[in-house]
Amino acid sequence: MDLEIKGVAVSSRSQTQLFSRRKNPLHQEWTSRSWSTQNSCPLEVPPLDLGSLVDSDEEDDFSHAPISTVPIHFDPPKLSPALGWAVPCYKTYMQHHLSEVQDIIPEDLPAPSGKYKLKYQQYETDMKEGYKQYIQRNAEKAKSISIHESSRKQTNEKCDQAEEASMDDLMTLDRKALLQQAYAENPSHKLHCAQKSEAETVAVEKMKQTVAEQMMIDQLCRAVISDPEQNVKIKKEESTCFLPDSKGTPVRFRKRTLHETKIRTNSTLTETVLSHKLEFDGRILSRNGRDALRELIGFFFIRDKSLTVYEYRRFGKNRTNVLPFIQKNIYIHQCGRRKGQQYQLGDFYIGATLTFLSSDHPSLPGSIKENTFLRLRITSINQVALDSLKAFSGGAEDVICEEANDRLLFRAIQDGLKKQLHKSGVRILTGLGKYFHHLDKEGNGLLDKADFKQALEIFHLEVSEKDFESSWLILKGNGSDKDRVDYGEFKRAIIGEMNEYRKSFVRKAFMKLDFNKTGTVPIIDIRKCYCAKKHPQVISGHSTEEEIKSSFLETLKDACNKSDEVSYGEFEDYYEGLSIGIAEDEDFVRILCTPWGI
């Protein structure tokens, strides 16, 4: 039978051209006859529009192909008698499945008996009751779990809040400050530091020799001339009668120099007397950075129990000068348990504090004269000379019992606070410095008892009432004011301070920054001088140099009263707090030497 189908005129040439432009070309050419032979169907199959079966892509556009009617002859397929064409084509989906599904429930079931109905009702009641109990148990269990979870959650929230508060503090200041301790883990340039320390030792010895020579020259040249006893002898000689001599000159008009005078006094010094001396280095305990950085060298003479202090001053790189700071004389304790007693050999040791009245020394700078006392801390001492002088003088004097008890009291308080200050020392010490500076309206450094108690409460420093009262009586006896105490002395007594070996490197670092000797350093200069290239985290790549530098500057700025500069006291407080958590002196020295290059 012939069937006309509207579509594309099929030919071998045109069909090859059309399908060769498709994305996936066919390897076999189709013809209308082969397609009709392979896909034969009965007469009832509706005609297909082959032109509508093309892809929707623009490249498969068949609009240019002519539409024509092509007669196609279909031969009906020869089917086996067992199978019929109409079975899969004309049976619907429901009829096909209904024929396969058999009836599960028979229609002729008998009605349930009364016994069965009773059992069913009992079973239904038991099931409902069991389900109610199951719901109640689940509800009670969920309620107990929710109560337990809520209480545990509240407890955890409280702990988390406390931990977060402490962690926030560590993240903001303490954790960033503790990054500086990582320098102790990098002993890479230990040899370089050793070589530099040897050179510095030679320079220090040369400086001390210069000061000692200048002291000997001053004392030998000025001792006799400045002695009041010489004036008395001159007046006696002038009162005696003698004939006028035209060639001679009266004694009162003669040139009085060491080499021309013939007068010998009882207190005339000799080089032998001056050679029995104890040499020590000192620094001034002051909040003024310019005074605190003065290089002082003192001498204690065992023959007459006198002492003198000289200042070594540097002017540029090559110019230096040695000037007397405290004149040679016999001095006494101005405060403390031994107030009014003369200084003895046992009063000189590393860490000892010598006190002088500022009014007794008119040549002192004006910034020092503002305070009643001049406190001089001994930073280093000639141990060989001290041992020989002890043997010569028959041993040093014993420390009185009251002073020993005072030291034990302060040491016990410091040990109790050390755990609290182990990781937060930088934040607390710098905060205390700012707080005391804010309370010091007069600028003399003196605060009363209530101010110190309030400061301990604000910074959560636990000191018992008994220890506080005992320490207050001791500190009040060391000062000039009966009702107020210097807050620098209070911090050193209650919290403690780093040893003089560590503090000497803090002074070196600040003196390198403070090249103008003003006592303050701009933040810009600190940023320029601080080097974080050798920080372990920078070397490993975990942090950048700028991140380490920014963390240091952020914690240092928090200690400053002014945002654009750092004073020596603030710089010292920063490293004072950092020193609490470092056990070894060499580790602390490496922390200072590595970033500052000292």
Instruction: Quote the pLDDT of residue 3.
Output: 45
pLDDT band at 52 (very low <50, low <70, confident <90, very high): low
Instruction: Quote the pLDDT of residue 502.
Output: 93
Backbone angles phi and psi of 379, in degrees to 5: -100, -35
Tell which wins on pLDDT, 13 or 488. 488
Q: Are 568 and 510 in contact (CB under 8 A)?
A: yes
pLDDT band at 96 (very low <50, low <70, confident <90, very high): low
pLDDT band at 482 (very low <50, low <70, confident <90, very high): confident
- On the question of pLDDT at 16 being above 60, the answer is no
Tell which wins on pLDDT, 179 or 436. 436
Rg (CA), the chain: 51
Tell which wins on pLDDT, 193 or 69. 193
pLDDT band at 190 (very low <50, low <70, confident <90, very high): low
> 348: helix, coil or strand?
coil
**DSSP label of 151:** H
- On the question of pLDDT at 535 being above 60, the answer is yes
pLDDT band at 18 (very low <50, low <70, confident <90, very high): very low
Q: What's the one-letter identity of residue 26?
A: L
Instruction: Quote the pLDDT of residue 576.
Output: 92
Instruction: Quote the pLDDT of residue 472.
Output: 92
Beta bridge partners of 299: 279, 308
- On the question of pLDDT at 259 being above 50, the answer is no
Instruction: Quote the pLDDT of residue 254.
Output: 57
pLDDT band at 525 (very low <50, low <70, confident <90, very high): very high
What's the whole-number mean pLDDT along residues 182-189?
68
DSSP states along 485-506: EEHHHHHHHHT----HHHHHHH
What's the whole-number mean pLDDT along residues 491-513?
92
**Tally of residues, the chain:** 598
- Please, which residues have CB within 8 angstroms of residue 445's CB and are 6 or more apart in sequence? 287, 371, 486, 487, 488
Q: What's the one-letter identity of residue 81?
A: P
> In the chain, what percentage of residues exceed pLDDT 70?
66
> In the chain, what percentage of residues exceed pLDDT 90?
28
- On the question of pLDDT at 266 being above 50, the answer is yes
Q: Tell me how far apart the alpha carbons of residues 315 and 333 are, in angstroms, rounded to a whole number.
A: 34
Lowest mean pLDDT among 81-85, 246-250, 293-297, 440-444: 81-85
Instruction: Quote the pLDDT of residue 84.
Output: 43
Q: Are 276 and 388 in contact (CB under 8 A)?
A: no
- Please, which residues have CB within 8 angstroms of residue 426's CB and are 6 or more apart in sequence? 173, 174, 177, 555, 559, 574, 577, 578
Instruction: Quote the pLDDT of residue 526.
Output: 93
Best CA proximity match to 302, nearest among 335, 279, 333: 279
Which pair of tokens denotes residue 278?
Answer: 């104890």
Instruction: Quote the pLDDT of residue 174.
Output: 75
- On the question of pLDDT at 2 being above 90, the answer is no
Task: Give the max Cα distance, the chain.
Answer: 181
Q: Are 598 and 508 in contact (CB under 8 A)?
A: yes
Tokens 């500052």, located at residue: 596
Q: Are 259 and 192 in contact (CB under 8 A)?
A: no
- Please, which residues have CB within 8 angstroms of residue 413's CB and are 6 or more apart in sequence? 463, 467, 471, 493, 494
Q: What's the one-letter identity of residue 535?
A: H
- On the question of pLDDT at 207 being above 60, the answer is yes
- On the question of pLDDT at 17 being above 50, the answer is no
- On the question of pLDDT at 414 being above 50, the answer is yes
The yes or no reply on domain 404-494 and CATH 1.10.238 is yes
Across 56-65, 77-86, 181-190, 255-264, the highest mean pLDDT is recorded for: 181-190
Q: Are 543 and 537 in contact (CB under 8 A)?
A: yes
Within its chain, how far is the Cα of 336 from the centroid?
37
Q: Tell me how far apart the alpha carbons of residues 486 and 445 are, in angstroms, rounded to a whole number.
A: 5
Extract the runs of DSSP E, i.e. beta strands, from 227-305: 277-284, 296-301
Tell which wins on pLDDT, 10 or 92. 92
Instruction: Quote the pLDDT of residue 241.
Output: 46
Instruction: Quote the pLDDT of residue 34.
Output: 47
Q: Are 177 and 169 in contact (CB under 8 A)?
A: no
Q: Is 305 left (phi over 0), alpha (psi -120 to 50) or beta?
A: left
- On the question of pLDDT at 212 being above 80, the answer is yes
Please give the mean pLDDT across all residues of the chain. Answer: 75
Q: Tell me how far apart the alpha carbons of residues 433 and 176 are, in angstroms, rounded to a whole number.
A: 19
- On the question of pLDDT at 170 being above 60, the answer is no
Instruction: Quote the pLDDT of residue 456.
Output: 92
- CA angle, 367 then 368 then 369, to 5°: 95
Instruction: Quote the pLDDT of residue 283.
Output: 95
Tell which wins on pLDDT, 70 or 294. 294
Which pair of tokens denotes residue 221?
Answer: 């040249």
**Sign of torsion, CA 452 453 459 460?**
positive
Tokens 């009063």, located at residue: 347
Extract the runs of DSSP E, i.e. beta strands, from 15-157: 67-73
Tokens 């008890």, located at residue: 405
Between the two ends of the chain, the Cα-to-Cα distance in Å is 111
Q: Are 308 and 326 in contact (CB under 8 A)?
A: yes
Instruction: Quote the pLDDT of residue 379.
Output: 94
Tokens 């890479």, located at residue: 188
What are the residue ranges spanned by the domains of the chain? 2-84, 193-226+267-398, 404-494
pLDDT digits (tens, 9 = 90+) for 346-399: 899 999 999 999 999 988 998 898 888 999 999 999 999 998 888 877 654 556
